[in-house]
Amino acid sequence: MKIRKYLLPLGMICVISYLIHLFLGQFLQKEYNPITTDISSLTATGAPNAELLGIFTLIYGICFFLFCLGMLDIAFEKYHKITKIGFLIFMIMSFTSLIGYFLFPLSSDKLAMNFQNIMHYVITGFVTSTTIASLYFIGYGYLKKEKLKKLGKITIATASLIIFFGFLNPIAMSLQLNILGFTERLVIFTLLIFTFCLSFIYSFNLKPFLTIKKINSNKRG
């Protein structure tokens, strides 16, 4: 679709918006410790500057979803079934993140097991698992079906790093290290870097990454 060229750069915009929310929140809330405190605390109910920061997270969520929609359109036009499935899961993840975190931010007491917090954690688990699943589908599709070796390796590496960094938190907890904010940022920054790079590559049609070996069109599914 013609509107796709306007959707693809939104991946870069969403990353910039998220980083503004993150670093502005840390700057405005002097007592906030980015090493020990999770990111969601910045926009939790009753948190200082939550409404202001919520504007940037909303921009992030909308732009991220629209970017994923543009990537899904490319996948259905050019790529094989496995890659299409990956980008479909990626889009579902972005939509769940947009709606879910908007409806269920952390409550003022983030340790309380109330409905709002439970839903927030459920959404986080769903977003994390679908992110990893989508990246492996996309990476496998790029490598084996589309013959986009560079993009495939980058995507698989991103998924693997997210899993590795995700496991750092329970390991740190077992060692009595309070570094939740740090380990969470490793996961988030990995996804943000991937999103920015993917958006940049497709927005500017970088041939070294997007050159596809000729494949019999009858095999596309």
Can you give the pTM of this predicted structure? 0.93
Q: Is residue 221 part of a domain?
A: no
Can you give 168-189 as a three-state secondary structure string?
HHHHHHHCCCCCHHHHHHHHHH
pLDDT higher than threshold 90 for residue 86: yes
Amino acid at 159: A
- pLDDT for residue 198: 98
| For range 40-48, the mean pLDDT | 94
The answer to whether residue 219 sits within a structural domain is no
Indicate the pLDDT class of residue 109, thresholds 50, 70 and 90.
Answer: confident
Cβ-in-10-Å burial (0-12, 13-18, 19+) of 43 comes to buried
216 in any annotated domain = no
Per-residue pLDDT at 25: 97
Query: What does pLDDT average to over the chain?
Result: 94
Tell me: pLDDT of 72 over 70: yes
Q: Which domain holds residue 56?
A: 4-211
Instruction: Give yes or no for residue 221 having a pLDDT over 70.
Output: no
110-158 pLDDT per residue, tens:
878 899 999 999 999 999 999 999 999 999 999 999 999 999 999 999 9
Q: Which residues are CB-contacts of 32 (< 8 A; sequence separation ≥ 6)?
A: 25, 26, 41, 42
State the pLDDT at residue 1.
62
CA dihedral 148, 195, 173, 32 (to 10 degrees): 160
Q: Is residue 218 one of the residues assigned to a domain? A: no
Maximum alpha-carbon separation in the chain: 60
Residue 79 domain-assigned (yes or no):
yes
Question: 31: helix, coil or strand?
Answer: coil
Average pLDDT value for residue range 28-52: 95
Structural domain count, the chain: 1
pLDDT at 101: 96
Mean pLDDT of 2-7: 91
What is the average pLDDT across 178-199?
97
pLDDT on residue 214: 56
User: What is the rounded average pLDDT of the residues 186-209?
Assistant: 97
pLDDT(220) > 90? no
CA–CA gap between residue 61 and residue 76 (Å, rounded): 23
Is 122 contained in some domain? Answer: yes
Residue 15 located in a structural domain: yes
